Structure 1
Amino acid sequence: MKTAVIYQSHYGSTETYARWLAEDLGAGLFQADRVKQADLQQYDTIVYGGGLYAGGVNGIALLTKYLDTFRDKALYLFTVGVSDITDQDNIKAIRGGLEQKLPPALWEKVHIYHLRGGILYSKMSFLHRMMINMMIKALRKKPENERSSYERDILQSADHDTDFTDRAALAPLVADIRAGEKPR
């Protein structure tokens, strides 16, 4: 079984997980904005990783763009975000957003995993810092008992780098790919 790991990363957390995953699986590694459809023909399993931004997954349009190429391949998706992935409300929100963005043929095929990344203010673009700061100001005005787990996570990491990346978190994804299992 030949595996390709494709990723789109703004600030490094998704790239870190993609590199670890490629090492663990002996897989090919591709940046989403540089991979060509022909590059993927030789692979049986495709793994796509993207960071969570504003309710969407960075670069996920690639999965739709190459849907015909992926029809006969095992397809896995991992998302990376600051949200606590043990909180079922966070998982429900992420999956709800994914289900709206992915066409039904892809939604039914893809096996989804969630990993915790971080917020790296030191690497953030001015625009992203400004957007996060606006969100933080709004969240601070919201009553504490009305804040979601995700909102609390954002506030706890306000104004400093926070990195939750953990290679051990890849273990279920690696095991399922090796076994050819198809969890949802």
Structure 2
Amino acid sequence: MKNKIAVIYKSKYGSSKRYAGWIALRLDADLYEINDIRGKDLETYNTIIYGGGIYVGKINGIKFINKNYERIKDKKLIVFTVGLDSKEDNFNKLIENNFNKEQLENIKVFNFKGAFDYSKLNLIDKFLMKGLKSSIDRKSIRDLTDDDKIVLEGFEKEIDLCDKKSIISLVENI
């Protein structure tokens, strides 16, 4: 039986949508925006890939996977996140905060770099990013991480770190 794959995403500013599209094309999978699929539809798939951006320590739309977990826990489950933070410790905390112990054993998670353009953010996200910028501005120049520099640059111009090649490890996992 052919491995039937669903790629589902929730995208706020477009990066998760791009990754989901690249993955679906590469795997000849069905592609869904999260609002276009119901939990019961997941039963027809052998593999479910979900992707969402990282916002304030949460994976955008992950409640969909958590809500439907009992229905899909025996399938191959993959989640990809999209954000600017590349610190492994932060990523590990994100995973622990978004999944319970059983889910952590059954779900393979990948992290991809996204894009940032302060001018395109909604009012709430601008407020949150201003807070982050304020904390970065308090650091000395030599203490700035590469991630800090990217965030600061995003206040001046659009930063796009999306990389089609980064999906290779996820695709090979299928």
TM-score by length of 1: 0.86
Deviation at 1:101, TM superposition (A): 2.3
Counterpart of 2:78?
76
1:169 deviates by 1.1
Which of the residues 132, 135, 139 maps onto 1:135? 132
C-alpha separation in 2, matches of 1:100 and 1:150:
21
AA partner of residue 71 (structure 2):
T
In 1: Cα distance, 2:121 partner to 2:152 partner: 16
Amino acid corresponding to residue 159 of structure 2 in structure 1: T
Q: Secondary structure at the match of 2:95?
A: helix
Offset of residue 149 of structure 1: 4.2
Distance, in Å, in 1 between the alignment partners of 2:69 and 2:108 is 15
- Residue segments in structure 1 that go unaligned for 5+ positions in a row: 85-89, 178-184
1:92 aligns with 2:89: yes
Deviates more, 1:39-48 or 1:96-105: 96-105
**Aligned partner letter, 1:81:** G
Query: Does 2:117 correspond to 1:120?
Result: yes
Q: For residues 61-92 of structure 1, give each alpha carbon's deviation from its aligned partner in whole angstroms, at most 9, with x where no partner exists.
A: 111100112121000011111224xxxxx122
Alpha-carbon separation, structure 2, partners of 1:2 and 1:64: 21
What is residue 181 of structure 1 aligned with on the other side?
none
Tell me the amino acid that sits aligned with residue 62 of structure 2: I
Q: Aligned pairs, how many?
A: 172
The CA deviation at 1:38 is 1.6
Note if 1:171 corresponds to 2:173. Answer: no
Partner of 2:66: 64
**Contact kept? 1:47, 1:75, Cα under 8 Å:** yes
Equivalent AA in structure 1 for residue 83 of structure 2: G
2:52 paired with 1:50: yes
Q: Partners of 2:92 and 2:35 in 1: how far apart?
A: 24
Asked whether the equivalents of residues 64 and 103 of structure 1 are also in contact (C-alpha less than 8 Å), the reply is no
Q: Give unpaired runs (5+ residues) of structure 2.
A: none
Which amino acid in 2 is paired with 1:52? I
CA distance in 1, matches of 2:148, 2:93: 17
**Letter of the structure 2 residue corresponding to residue 138 of structure 1:** S
Asked if the contact 1:83–1:153 (Cα under 8 Å) also holds between the matched residues in 2, the reply is: no
Alpha-carbon offset, residue 138 of structure 1: 2.8
Provide closer, same or farther for how the CA distance between residues 129 and 159 of structure 1 changes in structure 2, counting only shifts above 3 A: farther
Q: What code does the residue aligned with 1:164 have? A: L
* Partner Cα distance (2:47, 2:114) in 1: 24
Q: Offset of 1:148 from its aligned partner?
A: 4.3
- The CA deviation at 1:152 is 3.2
Give 2:23's aligned amino acid. Answer: L
Which residue type is aligned with residue 58 of structure 2? G
**TM-score between both structures, scaled by the size of structure 2:** 0.91
8 Å CA contact 2:153–2:159 kept in 1: the answer is no
Map of 1:32 onto structure 2? 34
